Structure 1
Amino acid sequence: MRVGNGLTCRFWTDNWSPFGRLSTFLSDTATSRLGIRQQSTLSQLYNRGTWMLPNPRSDTQLSLHIFLTTLSLSNFDDHYEWELDGKTYTRYSTGQVYRAITMQSPLVPWREVVWFSGSIPKHSFLTWLLVQNRCPTRDRILGWGLQTDPLCLLCGSSPESRDHIWFDCGFAWSIWENIASRCGISPLRSWEASLHHLQGMNGDKARRRLTLLAWQCSLYLIWAERNNRLHRCSFRSVDDLLRQIDTTIRNRIASYRDSNSSIASLMLQHWFSSA
């Protein structure tokens, strides 16, 4: 709180001093000993240029008295500001606060293929988990000491792992091979090679966004199919999933029309040209 006339700034609970809440800073002192009521405002403790506080009896009280010698009330209203690292802001930003209270790590090379403009949030979140190999595939479940069938739920012929499902698995590969060709890229069966290839994509912005959108959608629906087989005993064919991916991509492109009609038009052209 920026102190003005002190009419609304509460002595004990508002964050008006460099010490934060005085009820915490002066916790070694009972409020009754200072003779200041819990709801007292600064204006009630300031009279003709003098602060009406008892003489300090501790180091914390002395620090407060020293600060008060630099502070005087004015005719302006008290008001709040957000301050981070010595800079003031008129609006609150969750991102700025997060960066201020956490250690900053170097940017990872895969950030732009996971979090990109126009992505589908739940698809990006799953991709983020997959990049870090944090999804409960059967190889990881076995690594936790739990008992489970190790075979892939999609093809049933090889041990299940992230690198197998995307896209060494024949079922998943049939999907990605089709979707990649519609995006105009050569599909790769290796997870790491595919990820590296997508990271290096540049050039046509519309085609790049379409490719990332289709890639993440494929990852998401393949994982959803795997889970449906495990938990619901529900099986869909490659053609069923391809139709669902097609519908999802069309709907997402349509959602861009109001904000960026030109890129929506280009993405639809790319998508339909290889249908």
Structure 2
Amino acid sequence: MFSQSESLWAEWHRKYSLNGISLWAVQESLSDSWAWKQILKLRPEGRNFIKPILGNGQKISFWFDSWTPLGQLIQFLGQAGPRQLQVQLHASGSAACSNTGWCIASPRSDEAMELHTFLTSIPCPVFAEATDSYVWTTSTCEEPRFNATKTWQDLRPRGPTLTASDLIWFKGGIPRNNFTMWVANADRLPTRARLASWGLQIPTQCCLCSISSETRDHLFLTCQFSMAVWRLSVTRLGEPNRLFCSWAELLSWIRGTSTAAPSILRKLVAQAAVYHLWKQRNNVLHNQIVLSPDAIFRLIDKELKNTINARSKRKQFLNLMSKWMS
């Protein structure tokens, strides 16, 4: 619509959908196609990216294009603006000029005075040789055409890198365990307490112990069932008295290292425990299948042995089996 594309689709919409009216001003019609209606709904977002550059003023809409620092003049001066300045609602920029310069009515408000002041600082378009143009503006650059990558980055800016990302994503990890740990670390697993906070009328008791509220930290760390699983797991690593009271404490332990429990082994154990505890919670809730902490640990033990054995030739996994079995 703005790049003067000669495609049949663009030409058709310019003639029949816009018919000389700015895209920002055209109203949705019942006869419009679904695709066109979706484009019209995206105008508030698109307006932030499309920057008009004033040339001879023949294409730019005086009222609806943001060709001044004041934004859309129809928004800045209000619906009474066309009557006050004596410039038609769908006029182009050049329509507000004569052979001698700008020809708009004297200001009657502070806003109109601000516009007059700005117009005196720029050349009148009637004297310009260049045509009007539009550029696609993102936070990093201006381009004559749409840039999908940079637009997406502006619409969905990247969040800060989580401090525990190196503890979650690592070479040799089990993808399903990595993912479960990632969601758990962000506290986005649908625990009962989290679901209740969304307004769902459900019980909030922990599925594993039926005593405390099922939050992430309780479910994985302080629940009696989970504590029994962790006790069995860390005993294998030579720390029989190690238990975790908070998620931050668990991450701190994973980040640590020792001769008996290097960091890579701690990552594997912690992620396997979190995955199987979450799986057991779902089995209790949805399938009424109850396993003992010893049974859960046997699943973790089997998974660790299979993982280490499959990666035994990798440098990081050398001697891990003996450390886990000791």
**In which range does the TM-score fall when normalised by the shorter chain?**
0.5 to 0.7
CA contact (8 A) 1:31 1:38 kept: yes
Alignment partner of 2:187 out of 116, 119, 129 = 129
Aligned residue pairs total: 238
Report the residue type matching 2:101 in the other structure.
Answer: T
Instruction: Identify which range, 11-20 or 159-168, moves more after superposition.
Output: 159-168
CA deviation profile, 1:14-49 (whole Å, cap 9, x unmatched): 222222222211115153554434443324434557
CA deviation profile, 1:173-199 (whole Å, cap 9, x unmatched): 4544566689x795832232x623524
Work out which of the two has the higher radius of gyration on C-alpha atoms and give 1 or 2. 2
CA contact (8 A) 1:153 1:226 kept: yes
Alignment partner of 1:226 out of 281, 288, 291 = 281
| Aligned-residue offset at 1:238 | 0.9
| Aligned-residue offset at 1:54 | 2.3
SS at match of 1:62: helix
Matches within 5 A, 1:55-204: 55-72=106-123, 73=125, 75=130, 77-82=133-138, 89-90=141-142, 91-92=150-151, 93-94=153-154, 111-113=162-164, 118=169, 120=178, 123-129=181-187, 135-137=191-193, 148=203, 150=205, 152-155=206-209, 159=212, 161-162=214-215, 163-173=217-227, 175-176=229-230, 188-192=242-246, 195-196=248-249, 198-199=251-252, 201=255
Query: Matches of 1:19 and 1:4 in 2, distance apart?
Result: 14
Matches within 5 A, 1:236-275: 237-238=295-296, 242=300, 274=324
Query: Matches of 1:115 and 1:52 in 2, distance apart?
Result: 64
| TM-score for the superposition, normalised by structure 1 | 0.58
SS at match of 1:78: strand
| Aligned-residue offset at 1:66 | 1.0
Query: Matches of 2:99 and 2:164 in 1, distance apart?
Result: 63
Report the residue type matching 1:79 in the other structure.
Answer: V
| Aligned-residue offset at 1:212 | 5.2
Change (3 A) 1:197 1:168: closer
Change (3 A) 1:164 1:56: closer
Higher relative contact order (CA 8 A, sep 6+): 1
Report the residue type matching 1:3 in the other structure.
Answer: I
Query: Matches of 2:168 and 2:119 in 1, distance apart?
Result: 50
In structure 1, the gaps of 5 or more residues are 100-106, 255-264
The CA RMSD measured in Å over matched residues stands at: 5.0
Query: Matches of 1:36 and 1:217 in 2, distance apart?
Result: 70
Q: Percent identity of the aligned residues?
A: 20
Query: Matches of 1:66 and 1:244 in 2, distance apart?
Result: 77
Change (3 A) 1:68 1:208: farther
